[in-house]
């Protein structure tokens, strides 16, 4: 796939999520890019929050935000979307202007000077209050400019806001393409040890005998590891374990910070070290003549994320911390496996065994669980009712693009492949969890975000298996999964023009209302056969989506909707009284 192809695919993806003549292309673009950043491990669960206004002579703009669970990291997003039909350069000045408008929004929020100028019922008002409340405790603040153009500069000089350094990054169509086409966000993570530590890292290098990996042992200078984390942040932490790591100084992290402060020269003796995987490693001679690591490409930390983050935050909180005496033991595994699916399986196994004595549960490293393998197998063998098309289950990240590259060897074959298995028929592991949990009337779990929803789903699978009732996917299960995906997509698309904010929460709760109201009367097989939903169903969804939106605001009592929707109390309050009974004769029901 070329960059031009990718732009065309993104335009099609945006169009597929919009109603006829809808003016919401920019909103869809922001959602698509922000969700990708989550999947790539570059941010936290995002919330769409479009705001544009003027305070004094300052123009303010915002498209969305993401706050870490510990409320110590904040990301703001601002769009620079033009709906380009062809690859088009974006001037740095335009990117800087968009970033500045978002930074100005942040400045006024941090100073407590914006909330009283906003509508108290708006999501921007809730965000302004939240930023003011958490700002002093923030350890990291970033502003992302999202654009469908090609930007010359991917980042700008950090800005100081209220005594905090705010990083400015640009996610343009080119950078997004590199992430999506490779199927892993690691390619941008290049660490040159000549730059960060002054010389190659002395190591013990052991060439792999099995052909799928090489091996090295080394000790990374603490200052070098701190610098790398400062540059790449949570992206260094392997996706399967990232959401379970905390950078707060509590428990084991408090002990790490204590050692750094009082006995840095003993850090290597006290610390178990870190485990890394990398896609490529360059060796040269270190100063003592031994093998040395010059650089790593695609470096990921699969064990030791707390150690790494604690180095960064200890130095940030206590600038006098001396990291020059700190060395961190490191085991480095360099991947040589060319098959992306097999590589992910190996990385998953490395993660599992490296974290076997930590709090990361086995169910969280689950790409190779029999359940997911079975769903993938079904996606390869169950054809749509037309006997030609299929749905694709992306068990391993990037496997859809691998399919296109492997089998679309000529323009004609690629075109035929995209027609039989279009991107709109792709279901990822986290999407599967979202669709099934919403249908099980657990919208509060869906509202937790992709990773936490997936974790809850996998925990449920494990509990069912332990109870002797394992879920074994078969063709009936797979067809029902696709039907639930079609229903969720239809609800999301229908609700978009009806609500001003918190679309993800409204969609999740509306799907739950559909499942709760129709129960067994809803014919998922009929949805599968038609590969879509009826106009009558859409009409009924419009009624319920409006009710859901009103009730979410009513029950929140001033709380931020995106946070309220995550709580079991919200689900209980939402379903404490009935929603209006179905008022449209929907063909998808068995009585219809």
Q: 415 in a domain, yes or no?
A: yes
pTM of the model: 0.71
In a domain, 59, yes or no: yes
Q: Which whole number is the average pLDDT over 375-389?
A: 94
Considering the domain boundaries, does residue 583 fall inside one?
no
* Residue 394 pLDDT > 50: yes
Phi first, then psi: what are they for 402, rounded to 5°?
-65, -40
Question: 198 with 89, same domain?
Answer: no
- Label residue 489 by pLDDT band (50, 70, 90): very high
Q: Mean pLDDT, to the nearest integer, of 405-423?
A: 85
Length of the chain: 592
pLDDT, mean of residues 405-421:
85
My answer on whether 300 and 383 are in the same domain is: no
345 shares a domain with 223: yes
Q: Which of 357, 392, 411 is the last residue of a domain?
A: 357
Mean pLDDT in residue range 471-500? 94
Q: Are residues 75 and 213 in the same domain?
A: no
Sequence-distant (6+) residues with CB within 8 A of 131 are 74, 106, 109, 110
Task: List pLDDT tens digits, range 289-342.
Answer: 888 999 998 888 888 877 888 888 888 888 888 898 999 999 999 988 766 666
Q: pLDDT by residue (tens digit) across 415-466?
A: 899 889 998 899 999 999 999 999 999 999 999 988 889 989 999 998 998 9
pLDDT of residue 539: 97
The residue-averaged pLDDT of 179-191 equals 62
Do the domain assignments include residue 28?
yes
Q: Answer yes or no: are the C-beta atoms of 33 and 148 closer than 8 Å.
A: no
Are both 337 and 383 inside the same structural domain?
Answer: no
* Residue range 122-144: mean pLDDT, rounded: 91
Which of 58-67, 132-141, 177-186, 345-354 shows the lowest per-residue confidence on average (mean pLDDT)? 177-186
Mean pLDDT of 114-125: 86
List, in sequence order, the alpha helices (H) in 500-560: 503-518, 524-530, 535-556
Report d(CA 351, CA 240) in Å as an integer: 8
Half-sphere exposure of 248 (CA within 13 A, CB side): 10
Do 304 and 324 fall into the same domain? yes
176 with 196, same domain: the answer is: no
- Grade residue 242 by pLDDT with cuts at 50, 70 and 90: very low
Whether residue 509 contacts residue 552, with contact meaning beta carbons closer than 8 Å, is answered with yes
Q: In which domain, by residue range, is 105 found?
A: 3-182
**pLDDT value, residue 484:** 98
In the chain, what's the furthest Cα-to-Cα distance? 81
pLDDT score recorded for residue 308: 85
pLDDT(69) > 60: yes
Judge whether 284 lies within some domain.
yes
Of 500 and 267, the structure prediction assigns the larger pLDDT to: 267
Check whether 508 has a pLDDT greater than 70: yes
Residues 207 and 292 placed together within one structural domain of the fold: yes
pLDDT at 22: 58
- Bigger pLDDT: 194 vs 355: 194
* CA 322 – CA 265 distance, rounded (Å): 9
CB contact burial 525-562 (16+ within 10 A = b; e otherwise): ebbbeeeebbebbbebbbbbbbbbbebbbebbeeebbb
Per-residue pLDDT at 255 exceeds 90: no
> 103-107, 234-238, 285-289, 291-295: which range is least confident on average?
234-238
**Last residue of some domain: 336, 357, 378?**
357
* Highest averaged pLDDT of the listed ranges 48-52, 288-292, 549-553: 549-553
556 domain residue, yes or no: yes
Mean pLDDT taken over the chain: 86
- Average pLDDT on 136-154 reads 93
Between CA 491 and CA 507 the distance in angstroms is 6
> If pLDDT is split at 50, 70 and 90, which confidence band does 251 have?
very low
Which pLDDT value is given to residue 246?
39
Q: Determine the pLDDT at residue 253.
A: 60
pLDDT of residue 269: 87
Together in a domain, 276 and 347: yes
Q: How confident is the model at residue 183 (pLDDT cuts 50, 70, 90)?
A: very low
Residue 541, domain member (yes or no): yes
Asked whether residue 227 falls in the same domain as residue 208, the answer is yes
Nearest to 192 by CA among 140, 152, 231: 231
pLDDT at 147 over 90: yes
Which pLDDT band, with edges at 50, 70 and 90, does 37 fall under? confident
**What value does the mean pLDDT take over residues 14-41?**
78
Residue-level pLDDT at 209: 76
| Residue 362: pLDDT over 80 | no
Q: How many CA atoms lie within 13 A of 580 on its CB side?
A: 14
Check pLDDT > 70 for residue 44.
yes
Looking at the fold, whether 340 and 419 belong to one and the same domain comes out as: no
Percent of the chain topping pLDDT 70: 88
DSSP-derived secondary structure letter, 237: B
Res 592 pLDDT > 50: no
Q: Examine the domain organization and report whether 140 and 200 are in the same domain.
A: no
Report d(CA 229, CA 299) in Å as an integer. Answer: 11
How many separate helices (H) and strands (E) can be counted in the chain? 24, 18
**How many separate domains does the chain show?**
3
Please list the alpha-helical segments (H only) found in 355-449. 370-381, 399-407, 411-420, 429-439, 443-446
Q: Is 364 inside a domain boundary?
A: no
Distance CA 125, CA 500 (A): 14
Residue 202, pLDDT above cutoff 50: yes
What pLDDT band is residue 149 in, cutting at 50, 70 and 90?
A: very high
Question: At residue 241, does pLDDT exceed 70?
Answer: no
CATH code: domain of residue 166: 3.40.91
């Amino acid at each position: 796939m070329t960059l031009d192809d990718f732009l065309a695919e993104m335009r099609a993806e945006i169009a597929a999520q919009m109603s006829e003549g809808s003016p919401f292309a920019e909103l869809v673009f922001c959602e698509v890019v922000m969700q990708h950043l989550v999947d790539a491990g570059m941010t936290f669960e995002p919330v769409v929050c479009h705001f544009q206004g003027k305070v004094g002579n300052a123009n303010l703009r915002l498209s969305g935000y993401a706050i870490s669970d510990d409320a110590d990291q904040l990301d703001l997003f601002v769009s620079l979307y033009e709906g380009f039909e062809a690859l088009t350069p974006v001037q740095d000045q335009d990117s800087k202007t968009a970033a500045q408008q978002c930074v100005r929004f942040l400045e006024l929020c941090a100073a407590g000077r914006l909330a009283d100028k906003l509508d108290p019922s708006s999501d921007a008002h809730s965000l302004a209050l939240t930023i003011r409340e958490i700002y002093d405790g923030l350890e990291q603040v970033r502003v992302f400019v999202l654009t469908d153009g090609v930007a010359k500069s991917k980042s700008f000089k950090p800005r100081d806001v209220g005594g905090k350094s705010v990083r400015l990054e640009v996610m343009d169509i080119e950078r997004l393409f590199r992430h999506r086409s490779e199927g892993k966000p690691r390619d941008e993570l290049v660490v040159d040890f000549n730059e960060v530590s002054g010389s190659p890292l002395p190591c013990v290098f052991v060439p792999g005998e099995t052909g799928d990996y090489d091996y090295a042992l080394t000790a990374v200078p603490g200052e070098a590891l701190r610098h790398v984390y400062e540059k790449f942040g949570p992206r260094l932490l392997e996706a399967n374990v990232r959401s379970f790591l905390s950078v707060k100084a509590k428990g084991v992290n408090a002990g790490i910070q204590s050692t750094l402060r009082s006995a840095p020269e003993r850090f290597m003796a006290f610390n178990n070290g870190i485990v890394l995987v990398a896609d490529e490693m360059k060796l040269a001679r270190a100063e003592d003549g031994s093998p040395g690591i010059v650089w790593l490409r695609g470096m990921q930390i699969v064990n030791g994320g707390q150690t790494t983050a604690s180095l960064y935050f200890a130095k940030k909180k206590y600038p006098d911390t001396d990291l020059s005496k700190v060395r961190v033991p490191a085991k480095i595994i360099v991947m040589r496996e060319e098959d992306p699916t097999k590589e992910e399986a190996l990385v998953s196994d490395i993660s599992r065994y490296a974290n076997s004595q930590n709090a990361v549960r086995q169910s969280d490293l689950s790409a190779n669980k029999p359940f997911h393998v079975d769903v993938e197998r079904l996606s390869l063998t169950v054809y749509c009712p037309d006997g030609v098309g299929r749905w694709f289950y992306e068990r391993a990240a990037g496997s859809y693009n691998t399919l296109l590259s492997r089998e679309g060897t000529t323009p004609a074959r690629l075109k035929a492949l995209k027609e039989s298995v279009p991107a709109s028929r792709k279901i990822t592991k986290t999407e599967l969890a979202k669709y099934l949990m919403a249908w099980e009337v657990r919208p509060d779990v869906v509202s937790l975000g992709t990773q936490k929803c997936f974790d809850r789903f996998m925990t449920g699978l494990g509990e069912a298996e332990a109870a002797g009732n394992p879920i074994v996917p078969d063709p009936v299960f797979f067809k029902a999964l696709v039907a639930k995906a079609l229903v969720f997509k239809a609800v999301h698309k229908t609700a978009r023009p009806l609500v001003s904010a918190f679309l993800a929460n409204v969609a999740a709760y509306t799907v739950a209302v559909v499942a709760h109201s129709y129960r067994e009367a809803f014919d998922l097989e009929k949805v599968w056969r038609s590969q879509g939903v009826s106009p009558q169903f859409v009409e009924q969804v419009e009624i319920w989506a409006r009710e859901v939106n009103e009730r979410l605001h009513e029950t929140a009592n001033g709380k931020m909707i995106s946070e309220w929707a995550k709580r079991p109390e919200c689900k209980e309050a939402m379903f404490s009284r009935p929603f209006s009974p179905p008022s449209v004769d929907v063909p998808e029901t068995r009585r219809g």
